[in-house]
Structure 1
Amino acid sequence: MLPLIPVFVSFFLIQFNVDGLVSFLEAYGNQIKKIDFTHSTKSDKLLSALSVSCCPELRLLEINTKIDGRYCQLPICIQALQIGCPKLQTFGLMNVTPVPKMIRNTPSSTSGFPMLEELCIATSSHSFMTDNDLNNVLHGSPHLRVLDLRGGSRITATGLCALPCERLECLYWGLYFNINTMVASKKGIHMLAHKWSSTLRELDLANQPFSEEDMEIAMGHLADGGGVNLFCSLNLSGTNITSSVGKDVLVPFLMFHRLLIRQSSCWYLLKGLKRVYHGQGDIQLLLDKLD
Structure 2
Amino acid sequence: MDASAQSGGTGGGGTGGGATGGRGTGGRGTGGRGTARKPAPKRKEGGKARKAKKARVSRPAFTIQQGEDMLLYISNTSSQAEGSLWTSRRKTVSKAKLLKNQKKKKKTVCPKSRLERKTVKEEEEDRLPEEDRWGQLLPEEVLVSIFQMLVVQDGAVPFLCRVSRVCRLWNAAAATLTLWRKVAVNHCWIQPARGQTEKTSNRIKETFTWLAENRFSQLRDFTLCHWATSVDFALQTVSEFCPQLRSVHLSYCRGVTGSGLRSLGLRSRSLQRLNLQHSEFQVEGLVDFLEEHGKQIRQMLFTRSHRNDKVLAAIAIFRMFNIQIQHKAMRKRGESEAGFPLLDEFCIANTEYSYMTDQVLLDVLFGSTRLRVLDLRGSTRITTFGLAQLPCPKLECLFWGQYFTKNIGFTSVKKNLQLLMEKWGPTLQQLDITNQPFTEADLQVALAFLAQVAEADTLLSLNLSGTKITAQALRPVVERMTALGYLNLSSCRNLPRGVKKIYRSQEEIQELLANLH
- Alignment TM class, shorter chain as reference: 0.7 to 0.9
| Distance in 2 separating the partners of 1:272 and 1:80 | 59
Q: List gaps (5 residues or longer) in structure 1.
A: 1-13, 38-42, 65-73
Structure number with higher strand proportion: 1
Q: Which of residues 221, 232, 242 is equivalent to 2:449?
A: 221
Q: Does 1:174 align with 2:401?
A: yes
| Distance in 2 separating the partners of 1:173 and 1:26 | 40
- Name the structure, 1 or 2, with higher relative contact order (CA <8 Å, separation 6+): 1
Give the aligned partner of residue 211 of structure 1. Answer: 439
Q: List gaps (5 residues or longer) in structure 2.
A: 1-219, 226-230, 232-248
Deviations 1:95-151 (CA, angstroms, capped at 9, x unpaired):
223345679xx8645221111010000111121111111111110011100001110
| Secondary structure, counterpart of 1:271 in structure 2 | coil
- Within 5 Å, give how 1:253-264 maps onto structure 2: 253-254=481-482, 257-264=483-490
Deviations 1:68-113 (CA, angstroms, capped at 9, x unpaired):
xxxxxx998597764533111101102223345679xx86452211
| Distance in 2 separating the partners of 1:102 and 1:46 | 24
Judged with a 3 Å threshold, the aligned counterparts in structure 2 of structure 1 residues 244 and 102 are, in CA distance, closer, same or farther, namely: closer
- Within 5 Å, give how 1:1-291 maps onto structure 2: 15-19=221-225, 21-22=249-250, 23=253, 26-28=256-258, 31=262, 36-37=272-273, 46-49=276-279, 53=283, 55-57=286-288, 58=290, 62-63=298-299, 77=304, 82-100=309-327, 108=333, 110-178=337-405, 180=407, 182-184=409-411, 186-254=414-482, 257-291=483-517
Q: CA RMSD in A?
A: 3.3
Judged with a 3 Å threshold, the aligned counterparts in structure 2 of structure 1 residues 200 and 129 are, in CA distance, closer, same or farther, namely: same
| Distance in 2 separating the partners of 1:286 and 1:16 | 55
Shift of 1:268: 0.7
Shift of 1:18: 4.7
Judged with a 3 Å threshold, the aligned counterparts in structure 2 of structure 1 residues 285 and 150 are, in CA distance, closer, same or farther, namely: same
Q: Flag the structure with larger Rg.
A: 2
Judged with a 3 Å threshold, the aligned counterparts in structure 2 of structure 1 residues 36 and 210 are, in CA distance, closer, same or farther, namely: farther
Judged with a 3 Å threshold, the aligned counterparts in structure 2 of structure 1 residues 24 and 223 are, in CA distance, closer, same or farther, namely: farther
| Secondary structure, counterpart of 1:273 in structure 2 | coil
Moved more, 106-115 or 17-26: 17-26
| Distance in 2 separating the partners of 1:101 and 1:83 | 22
Shift of 1:226: 3.2
Identity over aligned residues, as a percent? 35
Contact in 2 for aligned 1:142/1:164 (Cα 8 Å) = yes
| Distance in 2 separating the partners of 1:89 and 1:272 | 43
| Distance in 2 separating the partners of 1:51 and 1:273 | 58
| Distance in 2 separating the partners of 1:198 and 1:47 | 41
| Secondary structure, counterpart of 1:119 in structure 2 | strand
Aligned length, in residue pairs: 259
Shift of 1:208: 0.6
Deviations 1:260-285 (CA, angstroms, capped at 9, x unpaired):
00010112112311111122210111
TM-score (norm 2): 0.45
| Secondary structure, counterpart of 2:319 in structure 1 | strand
Moved more, 21-30 or 133-142: 21-30
| Distance in 2 separating the partners of 1:233 and 1:78 | 40
